[in-house]
Amino acid sequence: MLAGQSAGSDRSLAALLAAQTLSSFNHSMLRSALLTLVSFRGLTAFGLTPEATIAVSTLAIVLPYIFLSLPAGRMADRFARASVVRATMALDVLVLTLGAAALGMGDGALLLVALLLGGIQAALLGPAKYAILPDISRPGALISSNGWMSASNTLAILLGMVLGNLLVLDAAGFRALIIGGVVLAAIGCALSLMIRGEAAKDAALPLGPATLLADYRALAARLRATPLIIWPMIGSCWFWFQGTIWTALMPLYVAQAGQPAHHVSFMLLASSAGVALGALCASRLVSRFQPGALSLVLLPLIVLPGLDFWLMAVTPGAQATPRAAFDLFVLAMGSGFYLVPLTAAIQRLTPVQERARFIGISHTLSGLSMCAAGLVILLYPAVGLSVTDIYALVALSTGIVAALSLFQTLGPFRRASVGQPAQ
């Protein structure tokens, strides 16, 4: 019986990982195609400038996380989480079909609408897929499952960015992009049917507009009532804050370093590979070392590469790209490492019938943190800072936040994982 349950869990986990990977890949490829067409083919939408179109495409992805993550969390607690995953994957087929039609017609406005629907789909899927993970993971394998989810998602986004850029400007590639996105979305929808989860955790949970608004009003009170997840929430939000700053400023950093434009892709590859490797290493190392030791190792792993970016800016003749790519890889590996146990802690340290709502809170705050990063990017020149100054400050802050959040989180998480009181 236990062997059968384990096999079923493995199939469900594999299906969930594959489905969310295809969804992330498709969304990333669609946005990359839009950015490339705007930048190199003069595609416009709603009469906006290219810069404004790019900004709107970013908002189309981020804003649904801010406004829909809490309702999505309530929905994933109200209904069977596997059913919610299946419904959102079915919506993804519509998103990619609309995106294919927009690309085929060269309609920038319709392409932005497709991206907005993709952002909505991702926001609705997030709480359900993370909330169901403890139910379909083998005992003691929650961190490993989160590591695979983070790694596969990161690599899917990277591959989507690269292929969207390459395919959309090639005649044969353009046709493959249009057809392939819809086909992959249909495959993801079919895979989601293989996910087997438990029944609804709180079938009596109301879903009216008043209750949804109440979730926003009660956000701070919920966090105060569950103090063990405050540090995991802080660390998770900071991951998205610092990641937004690093990736958004990377083209400017490469340009100021006098390097060719294609080096931006090289740097993003180094970052994505680092996050994926760090996420996979977390499942093997977190259980073997004490929180204090991991925190002490993590601090220099993140801080020193960021400081090296600053040193390269003041060192004449420095070979920026290889050295910077290595620094970025190491820093991203540390960031990916610390995110995985924090995500697992939010899943484990929250009441099972409210787990999706707490994940919704985390995603809402992460969306706000990405908006805050955008504000920093907008304002940093006004205070006389350079890109490398910002990188150094962000790396130092990230090292401190990562070390503190990991140290504060691992003890309660381990006790909860073995059924002991968390406090």
Residue 3: which pLDDT band, with cuts at 50, 70 and 90? Answer: very low
| Domain assignment of residue 202, yes or no | no
Q: What is the pLDDT of residue 216?
A: 81
The more confidently predicted of residues 116 and 287 is 116
- 224, 156: one domain: no
| Domain assignment of residue 45, yes or no | yes
CATH of the domain at 353: 1.20.1250.20
pLDDT tens readout for residues 16-64: 999 999 999 999 999 888 888 887 788 888 888 887 887 788 888 889 9
- 272, 176: one domain: no
| Domain assignment of residue 207, yes or no | no
- 174, 286: one domain: no
Nearest CA to 291 out of 392, 199, 411 is that of 411
The answer on pLDDT for 419 being more than 60 is: no
> 3-state SS string over 208-256?
CHHHHHHHHHCHHHHHHHCHHHHHHHHHHHHHHHHHHHHHHHHHHHHHH
Question: Under 8 Å CB-to-CB from 332, ≥6 apart: which residues?
Answer: 246, 270, 271, 272, 273, 274, 275, 278
The more confidently predicted of residues 41 and 126 is 126
pLDDT tens readout for residues 368-408: 998 888 888 878 888 888 888 888 999 999 999 989 998 88
The answer on pLDDT for 186 being more than 90 is: yes
What average pLDDT score do residues 233-249 get?
Answer: 89
Residue 298 domain boundaries: 217-415
Q: What is the pLDDT of residue 409?
A: 86
What average pLDDT score do residues 233-255 get?
Answer: 85
pLDDT tens readout for residues 161-175: 888 888 888 889 999
Nearest CA to 89 out of 118, 113, 60, 57 is that of 118
pLDDT-above-90 percentage for the chain: 37
- 178, 228: one domain: no
Q: What is the pLDDT of residue 359?
A: 92
- 375, 259: one domain: yes
- 155, 244: one domain: no
- 100, 138: one domain: yes
Q: What is the pLDDT of residue 28?
A: 92
| Domain assignment of residue 204, yes or no | no
Q: What is the pLDDT of residue 315?
A: 65
The answer on pLDDT for 423 being more than 50 is: no
Structure-derived torsion over alpha carbons of residues 383, 266, 119, 95, reported in degrees to the nearest 10: 150
Q: Is 75 helix (H, G, I), strand (E, B) or coil?
A: helix
CA distance 49 to 130: 37
The answer on pLDDT for 119 being more than 70 is: yes
| Domain assignment of residue 401, yes or no | yes
Residue 421: which pLDDT band, with cuts at 50, 70 and 90? Answer: very low
Q: What is the pLDDT of residue 318?
A: 53
Q: What is the pLDDT of residue 422?
A: 46
What average pLDDT score do residues 342-353 get?
Answer: 88
CB half-sphere exposure, 178, CA atoms < 13 A = 15
| Domain assignment of residue 355, yes or no | yes
Q: Is 414 helix (H, G, I), strand (E, B) or coil?
A: helix
Asked which of 163, 197, 231 is the last residue of a domain, the reply is 197
- 157, 248: one domain: no
The more confidently predicted of residues 125 and 217 is 125
What average pLDDT score do residues 319-332 get?
Answer: 83
- 267, 332: one domain: yes
- 96, 143: one domain: yes
| Domain assignment of residue 421, yes or no | no
Asked which of 197, 226, 260 is the last residue of a domain, the reply is 197
The answer on pLDDT for 4 being more than 70 is: no
CA distance 71 to 215: 8
| Domain assignment of residue 205, yes or no | no
CA distance 46 to 112: 10
The more confidently predicted of residues 54 and 118 is 118
- 82, 26: one domain: yes
| Segments in 137-229 forming alpha helices (H) | 142-167, 171-192, 209-217, 219-225
The answer on pLDDT for 184 being more than 80 is: yes
Q: What is the pLDDT of residue 420?
A: 46
Asked which of 162, 197, 232 is the last residue of a domain, the reply is 197
Nearest CA to 397 out of 320, 257, 299 is that of 299
- The helix (run of H) or strand (run of E) holding residue 359 is helix 355-379
Residue 6: which pLDDT band, with cuts at 50, 70 and 90? Answer: low
pLDDT tens readout for residues 142-161: 889 999 999 999 889 888 98
The more confidently predicted of residues 249 and 329 is 329
- 173, 265: one domain: no
Total of domains in the chain: 2
Nearest CA to 357 out of 127, 136, 146, 134 is that of 127
Q: What is the pLDDT of residue 386?
A: 85
Q: What is the mean pLDDT of the chain?
A: 86
The answer on pLDDT for 320 being more than 80 is: no
The answer on pLDDT for 272 being more than 90 is: no
What average pLDDT score do residues 105-128 get?
Answer: 95
